[in-house]
Chains A and B, each alone.
Chain A
Amino acid sequence: MASATLYSVSYDLSHLLLGGIASVFPDPLRAWISNGNVITGLAVLIFAALLLAASMLNTILLIWWERKLLGRFMDRRGAMHVGYAGLLQNFADGFKLFRKTTVQPREADALGFFTGPTAYMVTSMILFGVLPISSGWNSGALPLSLLLALAIFSFAPLFIFVSAWSSNNKYSLMGGMRSAAQMIAYEVPLLLAVVAVVIVAGSFDLTTIVYEQQNYWFWGPLFVALVVFVAGMLAEMERIPFDLPEAEAELVEGWNTEYGGMLFAFFMLADYLRSLIGSILVVLLFLGGWTMPSWVPSAATSFPLAGIFWFMLKTYLVFAVFVWIRAALPRVRTDQLLRVGWNRMIPLSLLAVFLAAALVTVKCVPVFGCLPSPGI
């Protein structure tokens, strides 16, 4: 299984299933079912289902992880009742939300009100198809997968604004405005920080970026880029200290004030999906993805699915840092956030790009060592 990939698993499953089904039917039908195209088609479906299941499961686990961690930060235990240590609590919450009626405000614009959350959710989930999880566990070697991921990632403000506008609520509107302003302000430093990584790695392909980190992970030499990227990610994920669009103290619930039941669950899930993707991107770009440094004993990196194991571990630890920030810091104000974004983050990210360029020119740095194949 060590060499199993997402594709091979899907195809194997497809073969297995269709082989079983085909044996029941008489010949012409059997031949058609055993046709390669049908097998491929089913494999693609299985592939998508696997991705969906993995993303949903991880999202819900992430919520559990945050609740438990936040609980300990707050000197309490977090969810304890449903399932072992509250593992199933989020499923219970989800079922509760799915059973609830979706209330549509009378003056709300139905089209935007319903498509907004759905599109927000869907665009967040599409991202999962782009990101590699381990060697072979991705949807294909897209040469521009990083660019694609960030492009899809920045769809969100549009849909947030659509749903906020169509809620016809003043708080929603203000939340939507803030959300749009904030995401646009932080998109620029975020992308510039990514550019620093791209300069060093010499590729927009996430898999390549990960393999470029075999000598040392990028967080050390590109620390400035990491700081800018994490700050930008916090703003994009709308987490404290940058959760102004849904600052509950002043804006009730921000742009999802009017949403309840299923649609609120969409927003909630999509938020955590984006958090998960943010953590994954940090791991991929700065923490070596699924690879481990060479001093780690090979037994720890060669067991089946070791790559996925290390990758998920890193992802959850990165998210733990986000939770830590949430536990310790207050929320900033919109104008301060924007001022920090335009006045501090963009110069910082330019500095990061400059440092990356310097790194590529020098090729080797004293503490870390040399780049395997210095980029651009």
Chain B
Amino acid sequence: MSEMWINMGPQHPMTHGLWNLRVRIEGEVILDVDPEMGYLHRGIEKISEDRHYNEVITLMDRTCYVAGLAWEHLYMLAAEEALHIRPPERAQYLRVLCEEFQRIASHLMWYAAFVQDIGLMSPFLYGMRDRDLILDLFQSYTGARMTYEYMRAGGVRNDLPPGFTDRARKVLDWLLPRFHEYDQLCLGSDIFHKRCDGLGKLSAEECIRHGVTGPMLRSAGRKRDLRRDRPYAVYDQLDFEVAVADGADVTGRYLVRMEEMRQSVRILYQVLDWLDRHPGPVMADQLPRWLGAPYAPVGREGYLLKRNYPKGVGFSAIEEPHGEALAYVVNEGGEHPYRVKFRSPVFANLAASRHYLVGYRVADIPPIMGSVDVCVGEVDR
């Protein structure tokens, strides 16, 4: 067969979203790839400039639809820095609770999609089933299963409902043996190793050169995790380890994500214990009126002119389930952020795809791209 280009996407079972991977192949061997993003661009950064600080979180849930709370956390950290607000400690613990549960949910979603990519049918449902338990927990305190709108500038919307921590512990107790089950279905299978070992190699140096972060970087043996290296919220008070593997391949990424879920469970037990012992306010007092809890923004010109807001710039970086996400919020006074900028980890991971796809086969594309954990919502924003 001579060389040809094939378009994998924008509607293709491999893409998990709207993007296009153009692949030049000869027979089954990949000669060149060309990722095309932008099919899902919604202009979230621009829309944010026209929205009240708290209203931006409705966009954050939709930026990455499998890790909404992590992105809410990211944005809120930056926005609070720009607005000179400091949330109470309990709110910070609640945010960590959200983020870690979201990390497990996101990784479970990744697991489900990834095993589907290599042709495993039933673990897909297992992953979704167990993720649903976490979504149930989210629903019990945020009120929604996917679009949470839970965090507010200065804290979180509401405290946990009674009995939540016990339910959450039950879920964690249920999850831990499940991880072992997942491993048996994947690592215990010779076919899995045949499919995934040594695939999609990207060394740590190359990762850093191309801005690839998250599990992909850690799978190359580099111990870098913003939760440990640049602690935000209350991560410096929590005890956990950074998951690392040395394969730099698909199996390595699998191992890293599995281990991260276990570490998240470990963090969550600590967070739940803390939350049980320390009741308190979940919203900062001394907020500007228009950030106070039940208030609607009143964006009338007459109002704006008479206010004199403090200005500021906020920057935050968190270890999102997919990698290192950064946010930058400029507050020029006024109710709306002057500029909001996000750095999506998956965008960089995807953009480097030429460096870990070329030379492999067409049949290797789904496992490799599956191991990247593509979330197009945050790529295109």
> What B residues does A329 contact at CB under 8 A?
119-120, 189, 191
| Cα A330 to Cα B115 with chains together (Å) | 8
Which residues from 113 to 144 on chain B have a C-beta closer than 8 Å to any C-beta of chain A? Answer: 115-122, 124-126, 129
> What B residues does A328 contact at CB under 8 A?
120, 122, 185, 189
> What A residues does B195 contact at CB under 8 A?
330-333, 336
In the assembled complex, how far is the CB of residue A80 from the closest CB belonging to chain B, in whole angstroms?
15
A327, B13: Cβ atoms closer than 8 Å: no
> What A residues does B28 contact at CB under 8 A?
174, 334-335
> What B residues does A76 contact at CB under 8 A?
125
> What A residues does B118 contact at CB under 8 A?
249, 330-331
- Tell me whether chain B's interface is mostly helix, strand or loop, or mixed: helix
How many chain-B residues does the 8 Å CB contact rule pick out? Answer: 34
Task: Pick the residue among A75, A240, A250 that contacts B363 (CB under 8 A).
Answer: A250
- Tell me whether chain A's interface is mostly helix, strand or loop, or mixed: helix
A237 in contact (CB, < 8 A): no
Question: What range describes how many residues of A lie at the interface?
Answer: 20 to 34
In the assembled complex, how far is the CB of residue A191 from the closest CB belonging to chain B, in whole angstroms?
25
> What A residues does B124 contact at CB under 8 A?
74
| Cα A174 to Cα B27 with chains together (Å) | 8
Which residues from 71 to 99 on chain B have a C-beta closer than 8 Å to any C-beta of chain A? Answer: none
> What A residues does B189 contact at CB under 8 A?
328-330
A170 in contact (CB, < 8 A): yes
Contact with B along A171-182 (1 / 0, CB 8 A): 100100100000
Most B-side CB within 10 Å, residue of A170, A330, A332: A330
- Supposing A250-B14, A328-B185, A330-B191 touch, asked if A170 and B121 sit within 8 A by C-beta, the answer is no
> What B residues does A170 contact at CB under 8 A?
4, 6
B119, A249: Cβ atoms closer than 8 Å: yes
Most B-side CB within 10 Å, residue of A243, A250, A329, A333: A250
| Cα A322 to Cα B251 with chains together (Å) | 27
Give the nearest-CB partner of B194 in chain A. A336
Which residues from 245 to 297 on chain A have a C-beta closer than 8 Å to any C-beta of chain B? Answer: 247-252
A241 in contact (CB, < 8 A): yes
- Supposing A330-B118, A335-B361 touch, asked if A250 and B194 sit within 8 A by C-beta, the answer is no
Give the nearest-CB partner of B370 in chain A. A249
| Cα A244 to Cα B195 with chains together (Å) | 13
A73 in contact (CB, < 8 A): yes
B272 in contact (CB, < 8 A): no
A326 in contact (CB, < 8 A): yes
| Cα A331 to Cα B186 with chains together (Å) | 12
Give the nearest-CB partner of B8 in chain A. A250
> What B residues does A250 contact at CB under 8 A?
8, 14, 362-363, 365-366
B364 in contact (CB, < 8 A): yes
| Cα A327 to Cα B8 with chains together (Å) | 26
Which residues from 173 to 200 on chain A have a C-beta closer than 8 Å to any C-beta of chain B? Answer: 174, 177
Enumerate chain B interface residues (CB-CB to A < 8 A): 1, 4, 6, 8, 12-14, 28, 115-122, 124-126, 129, 185-186, 189, 191-192, 194-195, 361-366, 370
The 12 sampled A-B contact pairs (Cβ below 8 Å) are A73-B122, A75-B122, A75-B129, A240-B119, A240-B121, A250-B363, A250-B365, A252-B12, A331-B119, A331-B191, A333-B364, A335-B361
The 6 closest A-B pairs by CB, nearest first: A331-B119, A249-B366, A74-B125, A330-B118, A74-B122, A330-B120
